[in-house]
């Protein structure tokens, strides 16, 4: 993975720079050598001496250093690394990268490098959502720049939302994946996410409160561990994960068709499928092709419902093309463990991730989750975590599953249950 790899860490001038000494420490713990480059603004948040101490190497700060530049230091730095990591990648640094500015050491070496670049954005939520930042992000992704995060949460400025720099472990895993490492390298995993919208007429539909945040977080976590991810999503509010194959759908039937297209019996085979989508159980049997008009004095139209396909059960019971590990989600409001355990047997999947979505928990559509992982071995309650942390924990469990000898078909004894 990262053993003997050389990481060039560019530290931008954001409050998240205080996390970079820990990031360096974790890179070195994994066997990587780290060289740090700091912008002038970064020195307002973390001392060069701190980064030099944890990296065990010189920290570079100035473009016009006579000694370094006599040896063409910015060229040497940019070419000698195996991977360039920008953390935190501020809005200013992203703008410089996207538009080819090179007015300091950091931006100059980013222009001069011939290596892959991984950025960990960190900024105020309004700056992250600003059209200029979104435009710069699209440009960088088109240029092949890899992105990890940002996470969602409280900001130093007191606001809340996406813009927090990913935690050091997530950045390290993303770097490992970028270098062809990661415990899920070579694995192909499908993830479904978000709600489905079942039309009543062209302007109305039936849906649920799923935001898609847990599915997006899971796709990111699996990607960061090296997996090739196919992400099939309904019309969710959460931003789509980067660096994965995204398939957009609306209804449950469209989602099933997309899953079948992504997992054809003739291949390429998937190693796992995680069904995190909150698929509607029912649809309107005969949706109107025209807007249903309200008529004064007339009774409300009666809607006749039909049952939607059960995607989890369908895939779990495939005789051909079934992924070795099939994971479902169970959103329950009472008797969570009992209902989810019964669902695992009834559907024929290997694992169920159960959570309590009763209104008092604030989990449905919220930023946190509290789950019970149910397998053939029993039930394992997890503490209440952010959805990002829950996703990372589940991704690591999936990696551990495949790392264990002879465990690819665990749970097969349950697949024939009625």
Q: Which domains does the chain have, with CATH numbers?
A: 6-178 (3.40.50.1950), 188-414 (3.40.50.10300)
pLDDT tens digits in sequence order for the chain, 418 residues long: 678 889 999 999 999 999 999 999 999 988 899 999 999 999 999 999 999 999 999 999 887 654 555 454 557 787 788 899 999 999 999 999 999 998 889 999 898 888 889 999 999 888 998 999 999 988 888 787 888 888 887 766 667 778 889 999 889 988 888 887 678 988 999 999 999 999 999 999 999 888 899 999 999 889 878 888 999 999 998 888 877 899 999 999 999 999 999 998 777 889 999 999 999 999 999 999 999 998 888 888 889 999 999 999 999 999 889 999 999 999 888 899 999 999 999 999 999 999 888 877 777 667 788 899 999 999 999 988 888 889 989 999 999 999 876 554 433 333 343 3
Q: What integer pLDDT is reported at residue 359 of this predicted model?
A: 77
Which two tokens mark 55? 């990296």
Q: What integer pLDDT is reported at residue 322 of this predicted model?
A: 95
> Residue 310, annotated ligand binder?
yes
Q: What integer pLDDT is reported at residue 207 of this predicted model?
A: 92
Q: What integer pLDDT is reported at residue 411 of this predicted model?
A: 37
> Residue 347, annotated ligand binder?
yes
CA 330 to chain centroid:
20
Placement of tokens 């472990």 in the chain: 169
Q: What integer pLDDT is reported at residue 417 of this predicted model?
A: 37
Q: Where are the beta strands (DSSP E) in 312-389?
A: 325-332, 351-356, 368-369, 371-375, 378-381, 385-386
For the chain, the first-to-last Cα distance in angstroms comes to 43
> Residue 291, annotated ligand binder?
yes
Sign of the CA dihedral with 372 first, then 373, 374, and 378 last: negative
Are 281 and 308 spatial neighbours (Cβ–Cβ below 8 Å)? yes
> Residue 312, annotated ligand binder?
yes
pLDDT in tens, 296-352: 888 888 899 999 999 999 999 998 899 999 999 998 888 999 999 999 999 999 999
The residue from 72, 132, 157, 403 that is catalytic is 157
Question: What's this model's pTM, rounded to 2 decimal places?
Answer: 0.64
Question: Catalytic site residue 36?
Answer: no
Q: Where are the beta strands (DSSP E) in 176-323?
A: 188-193, 198-201, 204-206, 228-233, 245-248, 272-275, 282-284, 305-307
Q: What integer pLDDT is reported at residue 326 of this predicted model?
A: 98
> Residue 311, annotated ligand binder?
yes
């Amino acid at each position: 993975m990262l053993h003997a790899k050389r990481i060039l860490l560019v530290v931008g001038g954001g409050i998240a720079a205080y996390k970079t000494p820990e990031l360096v420490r974790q890179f070195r713990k994994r066997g990587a050598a780290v060289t740090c480059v700091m912008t002038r603004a970064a020195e307002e948040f973390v001392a060069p001496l701190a980064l030099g101490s944890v990296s065990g190497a010189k920290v570079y700060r100035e473009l016009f250093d006579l000694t370094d530049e006599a040896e063409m230091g910015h060229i040497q730095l940019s070419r000698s690394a195996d991977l360039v990591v920008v953390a935190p990648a501020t809005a200013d640094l992203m703008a410089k990268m996207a538009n080819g500015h090179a007015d300091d050491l950091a931006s100059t070496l980013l222009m001069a490098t011939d290596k892959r670049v991984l950025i960990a954005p960190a900024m105020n939520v309004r700056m992250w959502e600003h059209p200029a930042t979104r435009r710069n992000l699209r440009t960088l992704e088109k240029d092949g720049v890899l992105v990890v995060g940002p996470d969602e949460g409280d900001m130093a400025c007191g606001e809340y939302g996406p813009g927090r720099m990913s935690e050091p472990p997530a950045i390290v895993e993303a770097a490992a994946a970028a270098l062809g490492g990661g415990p899920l390298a070579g694995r192909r995993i499908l993830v479904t996410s978000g709600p489905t919208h079942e039309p009543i007429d062209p302007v109305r539909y039936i849906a649920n409160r799923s935001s898609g945040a847990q599915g997006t977080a899971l796709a990111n976590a699996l990607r960061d561990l090296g997996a090739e991810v196919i992400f099939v999503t309904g019309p969710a509010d959460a931003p789509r994960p980067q660096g994965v194959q995204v398939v957009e759908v609306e209804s449950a039937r469209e989602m099933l068709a997309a899953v079948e297209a992504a997992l054809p019996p003739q291949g390429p085979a998937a190693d796992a499928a995680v069904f995190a989508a909150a698929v509607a159980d029912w649809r309107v049997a005969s949706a109107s092709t025209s807007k249903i008009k309200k008529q004064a004095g007339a009774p409300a139209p009666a809607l006749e419902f039909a049952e939607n396909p059960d995607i989890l059960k369908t895939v779990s019971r495939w005789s051909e093309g079934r992924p070795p590990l099939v994971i479902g989600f169970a959103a329950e409001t009472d008797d969570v463990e009992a209902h989810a355990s019964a669902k695992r047997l009834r559907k024929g999947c290997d694992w169920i991730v159960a959570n309590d979505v009763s209104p008092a928990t604030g989990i449905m559509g919220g930023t946190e989750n509290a789950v019970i992982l149910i397998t053939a071995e029993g039930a394992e309650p997890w503490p209440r975590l952010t959805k990002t942390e829950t996703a990372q924990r589940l991704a690591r469990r999936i990696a551990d599953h495949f790392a264990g000898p002879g465990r690819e078909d665990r749970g097969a004894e349950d697949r024939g249950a009625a």
